[in-house]
């Protein structure tokens, strides 16, 4: 049966607002960011034109050229040339151009026109171009290119009616003749420059705009780094300081829910399962939701404002010393939120070997799933309650340690893989600073939060129920809680693995909690609460404080303190380095094209974490004794 679907592709350079336009036309909520590398795969959606005609929109990854070698650029080329295995050649291409960077962005438009496909040129962000003093002539540009040109402002949905009119059938034919020599890059460049001068009139005297003035400070060799470090510190300080109130609400809701269940049900295993296994176990993880949401909010703010590209520019010189380029910075920074999109974002890297190295070290950028562990353990090191600049510095130091280790390993691995087959260049366009798109930021924060809650209600809930059963059965009639726990499945597992983990400073229960967290790192806190039999009380103190108090009182059979500073440090080190995310391994296997790479990464990082924790505990014990 013949496919009658009308397909329209959105193509353009990074930072032109393609995905914003895609969202405006389809009503979708695809991720939008003011930096290169957000769209690393094809997004598809349905749009309705003025008379109700339905078309399929295809949002292609941003690319500077159809001759690029990176995976995302290759995807764009395959779709536009009709060579993609799953997506037929589009019937029309919307070439989205940043109106303030006309000459540079026209180069891709000219390449697409050479493919003899119907094209409509979309001049986006026309408001910013006019504010900078540019006077654009879409009619003149249309005459020179031989295709329709429409001026829009996608974020405000201005000009969409005129654009939909240009998208109606019959589509405009490809130009019969070209004003440049087909396939000749120099000829294309000369034509693009000449056309840009004809269609865009600039003010006679160039004056610095706001972005230029800000960049004099934010890209300064010294003050730029001061600002960058200040931003990072502010993020970590806010995560500790501002989330206390909503976390208190969650804590109170948890205590109130447990109280209702205890009043409504008779004492027994079922009530214990609901209160301690489900509400207590899952609640010990959900309480970290405010901090996780704040992390995603700040990352979205940096992306949307345009500062993320500046951070990549600052990092390029440093990263070149470890065998990577500034292109690797954006995937690595994305991995602080979650390693999976970070690994996928490596598709923007041209060099296959640099891409493999970046994929290998990306999980060492501490993701949001590790935050619950860090926020439990860091105050134990400092002997105080949560909050304050010192704990923010320690938390920032944890992230820095993981990052620096990743760079060292990247340098070693980069040398082992040898030089690239083709020379790689770091090309990054610095977009103007823009007002954050608050709607998109909050929408994605909510989506991330909902994804976390769904995980808490499925994977984490299942683990907590299984863990409760393993800590309850088989039962032993005894008044000694230690004897009761030792008789259960968990007690026997703990006894079996304690000789393995004890040299790292952990007892069998902590080792068991670590094992459960290989399914989901967030589970560690709830597992510790169950394994150390931390009961809910009517006291509205925070759950983590109760866990810390109990752990601080734990002793070994010889009476010595169990959770000493070296032991807590060793536990932190283990979670900094261990790759405890099986979905990440699956994505690594797909992106690297080999399960050997994913398995090797998992084994290496797990062994590295265990050895590092062992060294930290043994050396720390010697020093503190």
- State the Cα–Cα distance between residues 406 and 360, nearest whole angstrom: 9
Domain of 87, CATH number, reads 3.40.50.300
- The mean pLDDT of 307-321, rounded to a whole number, is 78
Q: Residue 90's domain spans which residues?
A: 7-201
Count CB atoms within 10 A of the CB of residue 60. 27
For 325-342, what is the mean pLDDT?
A: 76
Tell me if 243 is assigned to some domain.
no
Q: What digits encode the pLDDT tens for the residues 148-179?
A: 999 999 888 889 999 998 888 888 888 877 88
pLDDT of residue 539: 40
For 45, phi then psi, to 5°, come to -155, 175
In a domain, 35, yes or no: yes
Instruction: Report whether pLDDT(373) > 80.
Output: yes
Question: What is each CA distance from 20 to 10, 82, 310, 440, 445, in whole angstroms?
Answer: 11, 25, 21, 9, 17
d(CA 429, CA 417): 29
Q: Could you give the CA distance from residue 141 to residue 175 in angstroms, rounded to a whole number?
A: 13
In a domain, 482, yes or no: no
| Confidence at residue 243, expressed as pLDDT on a 0 to 100 scale | 66
Q: What is the pLDDT of residue 423?
A: 55
Q: Which of 28-32, 40-44, 56-60 has the lowest mean pLDDT?
A: 28-32
Confidence of residue 541 (pLDDT cuts 50, 70, 90): very low
Q: Is residue 182 part of a domain?
A: yes
DSSP reduced 3-state for 132: coil
Give the pLDDT of residue 38: 54
From 290, 311, 461, select the one nearest 371 (Cα to Cα): 290
| C-alpha closest to that of 198 among 250, 140, 146 | 140
* Token pair 């439990």 in the structure block, residue: 376
The pLDDT value recorded for residue 189 is: 87
For residue 389, give both structure tokens. 């600049």
Higher pLDDT, 19 or 504: 504
Mean pLDDT over the full length of the chain: 80
User: What are the helix (H) ranges across 418-502?
Assistant: 438-455, 461-472, 481-487, 489-501
* CA-wise closest residue to 576 among 545, 607, 611, 609: 609
Q: Tell me the β-bridge partners of 200.
A: 136
| Cβ–Cβ < 8 Å for 280, 528 | no
Q: Which of 452-466, 570-584, 607-621 has the lowest mean pLDDT?
A: 452-466
Q: Among the ranges 69-83, 520-534, 547-561, 578-592, which has the highest mean pLDDT value?
A: 547-561
Q: For residue 577, what pLDDT is reported?
A: 92
Per-residue pLDDT, averaged over 177-201, amounts to 84
Cis peptide before 474 (omega within 30 of 0): yes
- For residue 402, give the 3-state DSSP assignment: helix
pTM here? 0.64
The reply to whether 48 falls in a domain is: yes
Q: Is the dihedral of CA 503, 506, 507, 508 positive or negative?
A: negative
> What is the torsional sign of CA 458, 460, 466, 469?
negative
| 179 domain residue, yes or no | yes
Answer yes or no: is pLDDT of 20 > 80: yes
- C-alpha closest to that of 66 among 56, 76, 58: 76
Mean pLDDT along residues 612-617:
95
Contact (Cβ atoms closer than 8 angstroms) between residue 247 and residue 287: yes
Say if 458 falls within a structural domain: no
d(CA 175, CA 195): 16
Q: What are phi and psi of 44, to 5 degrees?
A: -130, 140
Q: What is the mean pLDDT of residues 523-538?
A: 70
- In sign, the C-alpha dihedral spanning 594, 599, 602, 608 is negative
In a domain? residue 77: yes
pLDDT at position 566 is: 93
Find the angle CA(414)-CA(420)-CA(426) to the nearest 5 degrees. Answer: 85
What was the pLDDT predicted at 457?
67
Please state whether beta strands 135-136 and 200-201 pair in parallel, antiparallel, or not at all (unpaired): antiparallel
Tens-digit pLDDT profile for residues 123-139: 998 887 777 777 888 88
Q: How many structural domains are present in the chain? A: 1
Q: What are phi and psi of 163, to 5 degrees?
A: -65, -45
Round to whole Å and give the CA distance between 273 and 466.
10
Look at the block and give the residue holding tokens 């600039």: 202
pLDDT at 185 over 80: yes
Q: What is the DSSP secondary structure assignment for residue 62, as one 8-state letter? A: P
Report which of 407, 396, 315 is spatially closest to residue 361, judged by C-alpha positions: 407
Q: Which two tokens stand for residue 371?
A: 């935050």
Half-sphere exposure of 465 (CA within 13 A, CB side): 9
């Amino acid at each position: 049966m013949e496919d009658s679907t009308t397909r329209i592709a959105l193509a353009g350079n990074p930072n032109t607002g393609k995905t914003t336009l895609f969202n405006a036309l389809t009503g979708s909520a695809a991720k939008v960011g003011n930096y290169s590398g957000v769209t690393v795969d094809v997004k598809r959606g349905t749009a309705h034109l003025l008379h109700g005609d339905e078309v399929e929109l295809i949002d292609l990854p941003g690319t500077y050229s159809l001759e690029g070698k990176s995976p995302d650029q290759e995807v764009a080329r395959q779709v536009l040339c009709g060579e993609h295995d799953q997506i037929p050649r589009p019937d029309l291409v919307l070439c989205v151009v940043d109106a303030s960077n006309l000459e540079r962005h026209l180069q891709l438009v000219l390449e697409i026109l050479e493919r003899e496909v119907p094209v409509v040129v979309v001049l986006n962000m026309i408001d910013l171009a006019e504010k900078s003093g540019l006077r654009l002539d879409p009619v003149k540009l249309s005459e020179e290119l031989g295709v329709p040109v429409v001026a829009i402002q996608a974020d405000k949905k201005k000009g969409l009616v005129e654009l939909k009119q240009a998208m109606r059938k019959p589509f405009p034919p490809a130009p019969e003749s070209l004003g440049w020599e087909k396939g000749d890059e120099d000829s294309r460049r000369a034509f693009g420059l000449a056309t840009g001068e004809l269609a865009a009139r600039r003010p006679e005297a160039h004056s610095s705009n706001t972005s230029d003035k800000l960049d004099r400070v934010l890209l300064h060799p010294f003050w730029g780094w001061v600002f960058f470090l200040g931003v990072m510190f502010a993020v970590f300080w806010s995560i500790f300081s501002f989330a206390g109130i909503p976390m208190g609400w969650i804590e109170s809701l948890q205590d109130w829910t447990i109280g209702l269940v205890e009043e409504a049900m008779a004492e027994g295993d079922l009530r214990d399962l609901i209160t301690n296994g489900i509400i207590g176990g899952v609640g010990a993880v959900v309480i970290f939701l405010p901090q996780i949401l704040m992390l995603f909010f700040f990352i979205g703010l940096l992306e949307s404002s345009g500062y993320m590209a500046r951070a990549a520019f600052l990092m390029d010189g440093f990263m070149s010393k470890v065998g990577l380029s500034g292109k690797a910075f954006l995937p690595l920074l994305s991995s602080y939120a979650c390693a999976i999109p970070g690994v996928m974002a490596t598709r923007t890297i041209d060099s296959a070997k640099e891409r493999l190295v970046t994929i290998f070290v990306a999980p060492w950028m501490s993701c949001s799933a590790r935050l619950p562990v860090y926020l439990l353990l860091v105050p134990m090191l400092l002997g105080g309650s949560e909050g304050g600049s010192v704990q923010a510095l320690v938390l920032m130091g944890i992230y820095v340690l993981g990052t620096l280790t990743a760079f060292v390993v990247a340098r070693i691995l980069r040398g082992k893989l040898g030089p690239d087959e083709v020379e790689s260049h770091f090309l990054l366009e610095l977009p103007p600073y823009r007002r954050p798109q608050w709607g998109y930021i909050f929408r994605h924060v909510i989506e991330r939060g909902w994804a976390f809650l769904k995980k808490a209600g499925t994977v984490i809930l299942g683990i907590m129920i299984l863990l409760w059963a393993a800590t309850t059965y088989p039962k032993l009639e005894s008044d000694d809680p230690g004897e009761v726990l030792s008789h259960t499945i968990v007690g026997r597992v703990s006894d079996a693995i304690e000789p393995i983990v004890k040299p790292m400073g952990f007892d069998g229960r902590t080792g068991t909690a670590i094992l459960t967290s290989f399914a989901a790192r967030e589970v560690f806190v709830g597992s510790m609460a169950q394994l150390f039999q931390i009961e809910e009380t009517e006291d509205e103190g925070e759950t983590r404080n109760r866990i810390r108090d109990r752990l601080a009182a734990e002793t070994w059979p010889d009476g010595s303190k169990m959770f000493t500073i070296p032991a807590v440090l060793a536990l932190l080190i283990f979670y900094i380095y261990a790759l405890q995310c099986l979905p990440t391994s699956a994505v690594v296997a797909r992106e690297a094209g080999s399960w050997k790479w994913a398995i090797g990464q998992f084994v290496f990082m797990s062994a590295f974490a265990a050895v590092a924790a062992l060294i930290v505990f043994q050396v720390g014990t010697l020093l503190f004794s």
